[in-house]
């Protein structure tokens, strides 16, 4: 389940693509360099951004199974189309209930983007156990890790960020979510189940020209703050007004922390 609107996914896609860690992606590509063909399953695929981001770095003959519970997003993802070199199929799946169904059949690796911070510790273990049983590598990208840097600083930045991080731990459909603890937890659990891990930061870096993205993020933080902080409505409104003023002045910069992980079973070639 993606839980994201098509509009939000379209807005964030170029920032996700720019943020993906090149060193982690290169280790992924190297793992399959000798393959003439490759079969991939993309969990919570959204509109297919992961395929668009990494497809060019994989062997030319590719079969992608795009999995999501949102039929509207799957319809958009299906427009990637197929060719003699690229086969794309979509599969509506409730990953809470039917993860095993999503992983059925011949596969070379599993991928997911912006997912692990939304899932519970139990679901993460379930994913790793299922992947390990199939001896499948896993590439998980853009997992939020709780870091954010606001420039210039404004009063209540820390409170708004703390409120957002608190909200990230709430149930997103998979049980109480890992939120910002997800990257560290994933590394620990993949290692526990016999994987070798390559990881690296994949932060969004937003400058004065990225006004729509920053505005969307600031508005979301302000909306959640009324539920997750002790700030008054007036204090939240003042914070949002200050951040919008920095945007209007061309001064606002924002960095949001993410981590990419490529986990490979020990002994794979």
For 81-107, what is each residue's pLDDT tens digit? 667 899 999 999 999 999 999 999 999
Share of the chain above pLDDT 70, in %: 97
- Summarize the confidence of residues 150-163 as an average pLDDT: 97
pLDDT classification of 2: cutoffs 50, 70, 90: very low
CB 41 within 8 A of CB 132: no
pLDDT classification of 267: cutoffs 50, 70, 90: low
Angle at 103 between CA 188 and CA 133, to 5 degrees: 50
- Summarize the confidence of residues 110-119 as an average pLDDT: 98
pLDDT at 79: 82
Share of the chain above pLDDT 90, in %: 94
The alpha-helical segments, DSSP class H, found in the chain are 6-19, 22-31, 49-54, 71-77, 95-102, 121-133, 157-168, 182-192, 211-228, 233-248
- Summarize the confidence of residues 129-146 as an average pLDDT: 97
pLDDT at 80: 73
Question: What's the chain's average pLDDT?
Answer: 95
pLDDT at 4: 79
pLDDT at 217: 97
Strands 109-113 and 37-43, sheet pairing: parallel
* Predicted model pTM: 0.95
Instruction: State yes or no: pLDDT of 268 exceeds 60.
Output: no
Q: 28-53 as b/e, with b when 16 or more CB fall inside 10 Å?
A: bbebbeeeeebbbbbbbbbbbbbbeb
pLDDT at 78: 85
pLDDT classification of 258: cutoffs 50, 70, 90: very high
What is the three-class DSSP state of 97? helix
pLDDT at 3: 55
Strands 138-151 and 109-113, sheet pairing: parallel
CA distance linking residue 27 with residue 42, whole number of Å: 18
> In Å, what is the CA distance from 260 to each residue of 50, 137, 218?
12, 14, 24
Instruction: State yes or no: pLDDT of 36 exceeds 80.
Output: yes
> In Å, what is the CA distance from 256 to each residue of 75, 108, 143, 265?
30, 31, 11, 30
CA distance linking residue 49 with residue 64, whole number of Å: 12
């Amino acid at each position: 389940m993606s839980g994201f609107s098509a509009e939000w996914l379209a807005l964030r896609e170029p920032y996700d693509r720019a943020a993906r860690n090149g060193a982690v992606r290169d280790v992924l590509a190297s793992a399959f360099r000798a393959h003439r063909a490759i079969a991939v399953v993309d969990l919570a695929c959204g509109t297919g951004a992961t395929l668009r981001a990494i497809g060019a770095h994989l062997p030319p003959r590719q079969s992608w199974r795009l999995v999501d519970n949102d039929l509207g997003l799957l319809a958009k993802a299906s427009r990637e189309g197929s060719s003699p070199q690229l086969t794309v199929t979509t599969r509506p799946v409730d990953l809470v209930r039917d993860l095993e169904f999503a992983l059925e059949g011949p596969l070379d690796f599993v991928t997911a983007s912006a997912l692990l911070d939304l899932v519970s510790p139990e679901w993460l273990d379930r994913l790793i156990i299922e992947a390990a049983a199939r001896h499948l590598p896993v590439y998980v990208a853009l997992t939020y890790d709780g870091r954010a840097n606001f420039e210039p600083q404004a009063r209540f930045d820390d409170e708004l960020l703390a409120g957002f991080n608190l909200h990230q731990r709430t149930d997103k459909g998979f049980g109480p979510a890992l939120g910002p603890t997800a990257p560290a937890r994933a590394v620990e659990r993949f290692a526990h189940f016999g994987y070798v891990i390559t990881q690296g930061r994949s932060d969004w870096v937003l400058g004065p020209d990225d006004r729509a993205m920053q505005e969307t993020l600031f508005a979301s933080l302000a909306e959640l703050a009324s539920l997750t902080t002790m700030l008054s409505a007036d204090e939240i409104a003042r914070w949002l007004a200050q951040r919008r003023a920095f945007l209007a002045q061309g001064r606002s910069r924002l960095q949001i922390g993410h981590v990419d992980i490529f986990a490979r079973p020990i002994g794979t070639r």
